[in-house]
Amino acid sequence: MKFFVDTADVNEIKELADTGLLDGVTTNPSLVAKSGHSSFLDLIKEICDIVDGPVSAEVAATDYDTMMKEAEKLAKIADNVAVKLPLTPDGLKVCKKLSDQGIMTNVTLCFSSAQAILAAKAGATFISPFVGRLDDISHDGLQLIEDIVDIYDQYPAFTTEVLVASVRNPLHVIEAAKMGAHVATIPPKVIHQFYNHPLTDSGLAAFVEDWKKTGQSIL
């Protein structure tokens, strides 16, 4: 499973990129606004310079003509830009056009298997089902992931990767990985939670204490 980080905070991205475990980045208008960056285009360029993998940059328009113009401008920023598009008729129309041109796309705000099928038929590089937001309304978000993976597996012509979005905790990622999801985009806070386990902490403390008792030094 590939790990993308879901943030527009450049410092957080740099820190995670240094681990060598980061495969890409997703942003959205809310994250960009939170970053406080004065230039969206410059921000995306800066992120693309840090990360070799796909960097999702979302269009702001909702009509086909304006979305297409914005998408073309975003795609010119860097080769690793994945143009993020809403799962609407116009959004999928833009997706098809960009896909035919070899431009990466990320179709977002997916909440049903039917929508996921449409995105795959439009040639989307990634489909972003929102797990946490479905959980919030008492629907099973992970069931949607399982359903989409199962459907895509039936059709080798579908090349769209399932990108698990709206991740709230490590369990969302683990369960999605067991289902065969290709990518998870994860908030930095949740990524850091992956490292944590009380037995790791207590085990390391015991090793450190025992090493002190030997009176030795490796250096």
The residues, ordered by sequence, that sit 6+ positions from 52 with a Cβ below 8 Å of its Cβ are 80
- Give, for 89, the enclosing helix (H) or strand (E): helix 89-100
3-state helix, strand, coil in the chain (%, to 5): 50, 15, 30
Q: Would you call 107 exposed, middle or buried from its count of C-beta atoms within 10 A (0-12, 13-18, 19+)?
A: buried
- Residue 44, strand partner residues: none
Q: Is 84 a catalytic residue?
A: yes
Q: In the numeric block, which tokens belong to residue 213?
A: 């008792």
φ/ψ of 82, rounded to 5, equals: -110, 115
Query: Out of 14, 76, 84, 93, which one is annotated catalytic?
Result: 84
d(CA 107, CA 41): 20
d(CA 24, CA 56): 8
Give the global pTM: 0.94
Question: Domains in the chain, ordered, with CATH?
Answer: 2-214 (3.20.20.70)
pLDDT tens for the 219 residues of the chain, in order: 999 999 999 999 999 999 999 999 999 989 999 898 889 999 999 999 999 999 999 999 999 999 999 999 999 999 999 999 999 999 999 999 999 999 999 999 999 999 999 999 999 999 999 999 999 999 999 999 999 999 999 999 999 999 999 999 999 999 999 999 999 999 999 999 999 999 999 999 999 999 999 999 999
d(CA 140, CA 157): 27
- Is 56 in contact with 26 (CB distance < 8 Å)? yes
- 83 three-state secondary structure: strand
Look-up of token digits 């035919």: 100
